[in-house]
Chains A and B, each alone.
Chain A
Amino acid sequence: MISTTAKKQIDNWIAKYPTDRKSSAVMEALKIVQAENENSLTPEAIQAVADYLDMPGISVAEVATFYENYNHRPVGKHTIRFCHNISCMLNGSDDLIAHLEKKLGVKTGEVTKDGLINVKKVECLGACVGAPMFQIGDQYYENLTADKIDEIVDGLK
């Protein structure tokens, strides 16, 4: 389940912690395994990480489901992380998410048919000054409007 390269990378992380604290590497290990599995984690992948780090499967699942940066269903080439926390919500994120869903023809969590885009609702990304906002890859897009969204999304390849 976990490739040799990935194991090597995980071992690097394990080495950074005391020998009896292998489990400290769990977040990085999940990230590495997710990266080599089309950016999402199946239960088998979670179990594999658990086995590799000598942890109960459920403990790893707890971590993997706690953080938003782990995916548990297939994702598109681009993930749009749409903030729906308080500032963005007050500035109309709900309507904009609805607009985006309609434009893409998918609900949040689903992937467009061409496998290009999926939308994920996330909590505050620390960019409240520019609310409403979303993130694609490393890029923040702020002060969103329906038109602006159309333009950004149309530009995605």
Chain B
Amino acid sequence: MADIEIEIDGNIINAKAGEMLIAVTDREGISVPRFCYHKKLSIAANCRMCLVDVEGAPKPQPACSTPISDGMKIHTQNDKAKASQKAVMEFLLINHPLDCPICDQGGECELQDVAMDHGSDVSRFTEGKRIVADSDIGALIQTDMTRCIHCTRCVRFGAEVAGIMEMGGTGRGEDMKIEPFLAEGIQSELSGNMIDVCPVGALTSKPFRYELRSWQMNAVSNVARHDLVGSNIYTQTYKGRVKRIVAKDNESVNETWISDRDRFSYEGLSHENRLLVPKIKVEGAWQEVEWNVALDFAVRGLEKNVRQADQLGALSSNTATLEEFYLLQKILRGTGSENIDHRLNVKDIDNTISLESNIKLAGLEGVDHALVIGSNLRLEQPMINHRLRKASLSGASIDVINAMAFDFNYRINSENIIAPNQTALTLASILKSVLKSAHTEVPEYLGNAEVTEIATQLANQLTDSDNSVIILGEHVINNPQALSISNLISEIAQKTNSTILNVSATANSMAAGLAHFVPGKGGLDVNAMLAANLNAYILLDIYPQYDFHHSVQAIEALSNDDTFVISLNSFKDDVVSEYSDVLLPIASFYETSGSHVNVEGKVQSFTAAVNAPSDAKPAWKVLKVLADLLELPGFHYADSMQVTSEIMHKSYKQHVHDENIDITVKRGVNVIWQKSPYAVDVLSRHAVSLQDTKIGQINSASMNKATAKKLEITQGDNYLGVPVSISESVANSCVFVNANHAIRGQS
């Protein structure tokens, strides 16, 4: 890349013509102070802190906005540079309150650091300082706007990255302030990143307010498990508790950003609802006991109840770690049972999406066309949506086929609101159009699909783009034609040379696949297990009323008198205590070591940042001891890493699916049932501040007037326990349920 040579502080450095000077100094490890410059944001050059001396230029130049050219000689440390930096520092501090002792940013403040290096120790300013009123911008971000230095990083973050410009600079001169318009609170699902980009203490974490100093905490690298990305984070801990989470750079995963869900869900860890002690149920009454007693009780219970190996079943939530999935299936298979499943929210396992992704997260930025099917990507997979937004900003055209209109934060080329029972037909006509224009034979199953204008348009987009991706989302999993839909998508992708991104599964479900946490030959899937009235279950962090598609049947099946249920849970839950016979308290996020597998198949391992509270233990350890007590061979693991490497040495054949495609339109009202974004798993349901945000309050069953009439309900009624909202943005004959079963209480 050595295009040109420049000289910085006497050293010859190779760089590319046109690069900004600050990018070169950053790469070379030469320190240049800055406030407004941020590598992921546009250049504003408004703080002037980065002034350096460029030979030949009459005045010092801002390194962040000075493109380099051949032979340039730069001094970052000579008298001229230093004097300018000192002058700018003094200027910036004129109106700064210098209230570091009561400022949460103290100790990790760019202003503090730069002032130490470049400032003067005595202020010459004796006049009054300005004071800026704070705005309440919601539950996550605390503002202290008097500290703001108007670098506009937060403003640019909103406009450029979050895609919703929420903060802005109003007023002028002495009266200028950074504030949102209308005190409605911040809406973005990525808002917490403004805390990270703010170089001073103007925007800080509200839940973390006045808690600790940054140097009092340990930072442990970790991986967030709420979505399919596995964003890299630092869990910052103090005295065995997670006190705050900040983003960790990983260009190929989450770049520099994390979602609010990943940043603030940790609050749930200290919720009063945590399950803390092992318990056994003796003659209908719960007893708190020691671990060995509980495990012993569990093992004896299994011995007594499981008369035939196939009478035992194992189910897990999708937030389990790779190692937990693996150990639990190994126990089951060790005892001779193949009844293993994690797809609790799937209505019909034989007829659901089966589609493999073949594009990398970073690759998503480079697509020139995307077809999104059945997803509210922005709220479901914020970081994936962010990548797609970048593609869109660099010119990609994005088409959408959804059952409801959603708020995308980029331009949508065509938003096709189509009833779920028409999705398969629509895809069929796209496929037909693709085949026709390629003059290939049209298979019989596409017979009655009519090639509509929309289908032709979408087909042409896919065919004409060099780098197109089809993204299939969560809303389709329970479509009566889900399997046909996914088969059609693979056909279309193949014929149009498009890649596929399957974001229909959530959290760590990719790990379940890798750990082979699905029924094997002769085994029952989740719904078959519940119907078969098994004698015993081992359940990993399951909350049936939220997790199962068939929740009523599930609770009934598990509550059977002669069903012995061992529950490993991180939180207390009444329904779980009702049907369980043993309750084993387990570690939650960040309290256990393990691995996350993201949508591109990347395995990211992490260590525990803190110990689980009280008597709770990491589930992988509990499962290992349980296996030992059951005298199963092959469970001699000293740490979870040994489990991980065992998994890496195995490979399971992927299920062969039937290629059946059925495109007949099924009549009737289709319900798309989805947990709202901040209620996707037990930890986020307990994160109190997240629940107080706009997104946290999403809780509605949306349908249009015609559907409401058909169902004989009106606005204000409840549908599936969720308040009805009538909106014409929903496709006909479709109810879109976004349920938030957040759990209130103290944390």
Q: Chain A residues in contact with chain B, CB under 8 A? A: 43, 46-47, 56-62, 65-66
Binds A, one of B165-173, B228-236, B266-274: B165-173
Do B170 and A62 touch (CB < 8 A)?
yes
A14 vs chain B, min Cβ distance (A) = 19
CB pair A56 B172 closer than 8 Å: no
> Chain B, 64-91, contact with A by CB distance < 8 Å: what is the 0/1 string?
0000000000000000000000000000
Point out the residues of chain A lying under 8 angstroms from B170, CB to CB. 58, 61-62, 65-66
Give the Cβ gap from A45 to chain B, nearest Cβ, in Å: 12
Nearest-CB residue, chain B, relative to A47: B182
CB distance from A87 to the nearest CB of B (A): 17
* Besides A57-B181, A61-B181, A62-B169, 6 new A-B residue pairs in contact (Cβ under 8 A), listed by A number: A43-B182, A56-B168, A58-B165, A58-B180, A59-B165, A60-B181
Nearest A residue to B165 via CB reads: A56
Checking A43, A47, A62 against B168 with a beta-carbon cut-off of 8 angstroms, the contacting residue is A62
B168 contacts which chain A residues (CB < 8 A)?
56, 58-59, 61-62
A61's nearest neighbour on chain B, judged by CB, is: B181
The answer, yes or no, to whether B164 is at the interface (CB within 8 Å) is: yes
Q: Which 8 A-B pairs have the closest CB atoms?
A: A58-B168, A58-B181, A56-B165, A65-B170, A57-B181, A61-B181, A62-B168, A65-B171
Contact of A58 among B166, B171, B172 (CB under 8 A): B166
Q: Please, how many angstroms separate the alpha-carbon atoms of A80 and B165 in the complex?
A: 35
> In the assembled complex, which residues on chain A have CB atoms less than 8 Å from the CB atom of B180?
58
Contact residues in A for B169 (Cβ distance below 8 Å): 62
Q: Give the chain B neighbours of A47 by CB distance below 8 A.
A: 181-182
By the criterion of a CB under 8 Å from any partner CB, how many residues of chain B are at the interface? 13
Q: Which of A43, A58, A60, A66 has the most CB of B within 10 A?
A: A58
Residues of B near any A CB (own CB < 8 A)? 159, 164-172, 180-182
Nearest-neighbor residue (CB-CB) of B167 within chain A: A58
Q: Which chain A residues border B182 with CB–CB below 8 Å? A: 43, 47, 57
* Chain A residues near B165 (CB-CB < 8 A): 56, 58-59
Bound together, the chains give a CA A148 to CA B665 distance in angstroms of: 85
Contact assessment for B166 and A66 in the assembled complex, using a CB-CB cutoff below 8 Å? no
* Highest count of chain A CB atoms <10 Å: which of B159, B172, B181, B182: B181
Which residues from chain B contact A65 at a C-beta distance below 8 Å?
170-172
Which A residues touch B159, using CB under 8 A? 56
* Residues of B contacting A59 in the complex (Cβ-Cβ under 8 angstroms): 165, 168
In the bound complex, residues from chain A placing their C-beta under 8 Å from that of B171 are 65-66
Across-interface contacts of A61 in B (CB, < 8 A)? 168, 170, 181
Bound: A47/B168 CA distance, A: 14
Q: Residue on A with the closest CB to B180?
A: A58
Q: Can you list 18 pairs linking A and B with CB atoms under 8 Å apart?
A: A43-B181, A43-B182, A47-B181, A56-B164, A56-B165, A56-B168, A57-B182, A58-B165, A58-B167, A58-B180, A58-B181, A59-B168, A60-B181, A61-B168, A62-B168, A65-B170, A66-B171, A66-B172
CA distance A157 to B159 in the complex (A): 47
Report the bound CA distance from A60 to B169 in whole Å.
11
Shortest beta-carbon distance from A147 to chain B in Å: 32
Closest B residue to A56 by beta carbon equals B165
| List of B residues within 8 angstroms of A46 by Cβ | 181
Residues on B with C-beta less than 8 A from A56 are 159, 164-166, 168, 181
Task: Give every chain B residue within 8 A of A62 (Cβ-Cβ).
Answer: 168-170
* Chain B proximity of A58: nearest CB distance (Å): 4
Minimal beta-carbon separation of B162 from chain A (angstroms):
11
CA distance A46 to B181 in the complex (A): 10
A62 to chain B, nearest CB (A): 5
Within the complex, the shortest CB–CB distance from B302 to chain A, in Å, comes to 60
- Which residue, B166, B170, B180, has most C-beta atoms of chain A within 10 A? B170
Q: Measured between alpha carbons, how far is A123 from B159 in the docked complex, in Å?
A: 31
**Highest count of chain B CB atoms <10 Å: which of A56, A57, A60, A65:** A65
**What is the CA–CA distance of A66 and B172 in the complex, to the nearest angstrom?**
5
- Tell me which residues across on chain A come within 8 A of B166, comparing CB atoms: 56, 58
Q: How far in angstroms is the closest Cβ of chain B from A53?
A: 14
Residue on A nearest B169 in the bound complex, by CB: A62
The answer for the CA separation of A62 and B152 in the assembled complex, in Å, is: 13
Residues of A within 8 A of B181 (CB): 43, 46-47, 56-58, 60-61
Closest A residue to B177 by CB, please name it: A65
Distance, CA A107 to CA B401, complexed state (A): 58
Report the bound CA distance from A65 to B182 in whole Å. 14
Q: Which residue of A lies closest to B171 (CB)?
A: A65
Provide the bound-state CA to CA distance between A57 and B170, in Å. 12
Q: Closest residue of chain A to B183, judged by CB?
A: A43
C-alpha spacing A58/B165, complex, angstroms: 7
| B164 nearest in chain A by CB position | A56
Q: In the complex, what residues of A have CB within 8 A of residue B167's CB?
A: 58
Residue of B nearest to A60 (CB): B181
- Shortest distance between the CB of A63 and any CB in chain B (Å): 9
Nearest CB in chain A to that of B172: its residue: A66
Contacts of A60 in B (CB 8 A): 181
How distant is B46 from chain A, measured CB to nearest CB, in Å? 14
CA of A34 to CA of B307 in the docked complex: distance in angstroms? 82
What residue of chain B has the Cβ atom nearest to residue A44's Cβ? B182
CB distance from A105 to the nearest CB of B (A): 25
| Chain B hits for A43, CB < 8 A | 181-182
Nearest-CB residue, chain B, relative to A62: B168
For the complex, what is the distance from the CA of A66 to the CA of B180, rounded to whole Å? 15
Cβ distance B470 to chain A, nearest Cβ, rounded Å:
29
- Which among B168, B172, B180 has the greatest number of chain A C-beta atoms within 10 A? B168
Complex Cα gap A59–B152 (Å):
13
CB distance from A18 to the nearest CB of B (A): 17
Smallest CB–CB gap between B324 and chain A, Å? 44
B16 to chain A, nearest CB (A): 31
A38 and B171 CA atoms in complex are apart in Å by 21
Q: In the docked arrangement, what's the CA distance between A46 and B168, Å? A: 14
Output the least CB separation between A84 and chain B (Å).
Answer: 12
* Cβ distance A138 to chain B, nearest Cβ, rounded Å: 23
For A66, what are the chain B residues with a Cβ–Cβ distance below 8 Å?
170-172
* Chain B residue nearest in CB terms to A67: B172
A57 cross-chain contacts in B, Cβ below 8 A: 181-182
B308 to nearest A CB, angstroms? 64
Q: Considering the chains assembled together, what is the distance between the CA atoms of A118 and B182 in angstroms?
A: 26
Q: How far is the CA of A81 from the CA of B182 in the complex (A)?
A: 28
Q: Which of B159, B171, B180, B182 has the most CB of A within 10 A?
A: B182
A46–B182 Cα gap in the complex (Å)? Answer: 10
A47–B159 Cα gap in the complex (Å)? 17
Q: B residues within 8 A CB of A58?
A: 165-168, 170, 180-181
Complex alpha-carbon distance, A61 and B171, angstroms: 9
Distance between Cα atoms of A149 and B73 in the complex (Å) = 60
- Closest chain-A Cβ to B265's Cβ sits at a distance in Å of 28
Which B residue's beta carbon lies closest to that of A64?
Answer: B170
Q: How far is the CB of B25 from chain A (nearest CB, A)?
A: 32
Distance in angstroms between the alpha carbons of A59 and B169 in the assembled complex: 8
Q: How far is the CB of B417 from chain A (nearest CB, A)?
A: 21
Q: Which A residue's beta carbon lies closest to that of B159?
A: A56
A57 and B164 alpha carbons, distance in the complex (Å): 10
Residues of A within 8 A of B164 (CB): 56
- CA of A43 to CA of B159 in the docked complex: distance in angstroms? 20
In the complex, what distance in Å separates the CA atom of A74 from the CA atom of B170? 19
